[in-house]
Every structure is written in C-alpha cells, then in structure tokens.
Amino acid sequence: MTQAPEIHGLCPARFNAVKNAFAANFVDAPEGLNELAARFSLTIDGEVALDLWAGSADLAGTKPFTEDTLVPVFSTGKAVMALMIARCVDKGLLSYEDRVADHWPAFGAAGKDRLTVGQLMSHQSGLPGFSDGVEPAIWFDRQAVLDRLAAQTPLWAPGTASGYHPITIGYLAGELFRIVDGRSMGAALREDFAQPFDLDLWIGLPESEHGRVAQLRKPAAAPDLGPIDPIKKAAFLDRGSAPGGRGSTEWRMAEIPSANLHGTARDLARMMSVVATGGALDELPVLSQQTLAEAMRERIHGPDKVLPYVMSWAAGFTRNAGLNVFGPNPEAVGHCGWGGSLAFADPATGVSAAYVMTRQSPHLIGDPRALRLVEALYAAL
C-alpha cells in the first residue's frame, strides 16, 4: 500500500479520527480517488479548531503543498457569493423580495420582469446557460454575457422551478451587486473581508499570486447529469457553456464569482463561520441574524432541472436537507464545487468547514473523500 505523505497543520487529540480519515484518503480513498494534495479545515464558534494539509502542489510531485497554497474551488465559491449578496441586503441596498428588474431594468426583458432577487439567487431565473450557440471566449467579455442574458428568453417560466446555473449566476449576481454597491464583487471581497480579516480568498486572482496556485488533475469521467435535454446542454454541455480559449492566466484574473474563486480551506471555513456563528467573523458582527435567516431559508424545493437531485435552495446556498453532505443537520448550508471541494456551515453546532483537493472527481455533490472527512468530524464532535 502507498504510504500517506507527511500531514501538516493543527489537530487536537479529539480530532485524531479526522486526521486518520484525511491520511486514508491519500492511500485508500473511495472509488480509487487517492489524494495528490488536499486540505481540510474547520472552525468551531469562529475559531480555527482543525487545519490539515498534505501532498504536492504540482502534478510532478516536486513542489510541496503548503499553508499558503491556493486552490481553485469552482462552484464552492458560490457560498461566498451568497454571503456577499447578503451583505447588500443587510446594508439596505437590496431586498430578497425586490424584483431584479427594479435595479437592472434591461434584465426584465422576455418575461423576466417579475423575478425577485431571492428567486434569482435560488437558480429560478431560467438562465442556466445560453439558449443559442456562443463561442467559449464570450465569458471573458462580461458586458457581452450580461447583454445576452438580459435579453434572453428564459428556458422555463421564471419562479416555477430551480435549474442550477453553473456559471451564469455569477454574472447575474455579480452585476446586481455592482449596480447597488458600486464595486465589483471581487473588489468588495478584498476590501470588506480579505484585507481586514486576513482571508486568503480571491474572486479574480492577480497575476502576482498565480505562482501559489496548485495544479489540478481533471476528473477521469464526466459528471452524471441524468437524462440529457436542452436545458442541461445549455448549462453544462454546449461548446460555449463554459469559458475557454484564453488560457489559465486570463481565467484566474477574471472575476467570475460563481466559478473561479481561489483560496485556502482555512479561510473558506473562516468565511463560512459567519453563518455558523449567527453573523460574526472574528467576533465582529458582519451580518444581522435577521438577514442571515433570510439568506438561509428555503426558497424552493423539488427536482432540479439541471442537477439530477431533489434540491432545497436558499438564496445562493445549497441547503443540506435531503442531501446530507454537510453533516447530519438539515439546516446546514454550503456549496460543493467541480471536482470535489466543499464549504459549509452548521449553526446547530457552531461548526464551519472546508475541503479542497487537487485530484478532481466526477461528483457534482458529495465527493466521497469529503463525506468521509465530514462523517469523522461529526463523530468527533
């Protein structure tokens, strides 16, 4: 059997079983998904209580994965996006019951005029992708994406069902944020959270930081979307359904809140502690409990038109109810990302946690390596 690499970080004795599960993922992972590098971090009542990392930051195995290594977490960043929109609500710039078109009139075209902010954030707009063929490079032209989505006829009646918006939600929520706040979401994340709270989280990564980014091994298989139809094709499978054609440097520098957040597991867990603690970060209030409750409550429940699951969506968060990927509490919220990463918060226990890795799996939700760690965590609690 392969030997686990040296494990670094913080692990009190009460979490030895979590460390053992973390080590096991390197040598005997479910489905043969042995880790190349990974990190798992958690906070309890806002304090970092566990932080483990190991492996190599490059695929050649020559560069150690360190405390400062950044990992692209793809859709896991949607949990941060949800918190950034909640901040706008808390500051009175937005309400979840506002109609999106009241702030962004062009968005109201083609029958989208009554869609609320809460419905937009819970993937009910009917815009999971482009209805007509586009070139993958369009995603690097923010205004072109926004103009096309604002004019587009929804792929289903808005507000009647959820259909996961893998990338478009980042442009839509990002534009709504920019209109009411005046800054891009990436700039606001830096100014309001990353700098004052020393969080190594980035929506739009400056080229000066690219040397810290771990290399990923892509999944060996495509995700299982269930029966394929035009809606799923628009969201995931059409040629222009994801950014392409520009290289990794431009991809990392772009600000796509739904898809290209780079960060560390520790600071994702710390950011999610805002939810776990009732609105505080490092004991400083950043969200009211009322706004947090509105951000976390169920907005829609039922079969998703894009993901092959029955989903319970909050305002940007995946709710744990029915999925059971964020521990045993159905009220826990978070998000999973392409390849296996996750971040979540459980107010019932005061726990927030995040998992990042460099070997990607085809699981859309509930990577078995992450589930092993979360199970060991709750057993230790």
Catalytic residue IDs: 75
Q: Does residue 59 sit in helix, strand or coil? A: coil
Evaluated on CA atoms 352, 356, 362, 368, the torsion sign reads negative
Burial class (CB in 10 A: 0-12, 13-18, 19+), 336: buried
The phi, psi pair for 299, rounded to 5°, reads -100, -30
Q: Looking at the DSSP assignment, which residues form a beta bridge with residue 263? A: 71, 201
The answer to whether residues 235 and 128 touch, using CB atoms and an 8 Å cutoff, is yes
Strands, DSSP E only, in the chain?
8-10, 37-44, 47-55, 71-72, 201-203, 261-263, 280-281, 284-285, 300-303, 310-313, 318-319, 333-336, 342-346, 351-357
Alpha-carbon span 379 to 201, nearest angstrom:
29
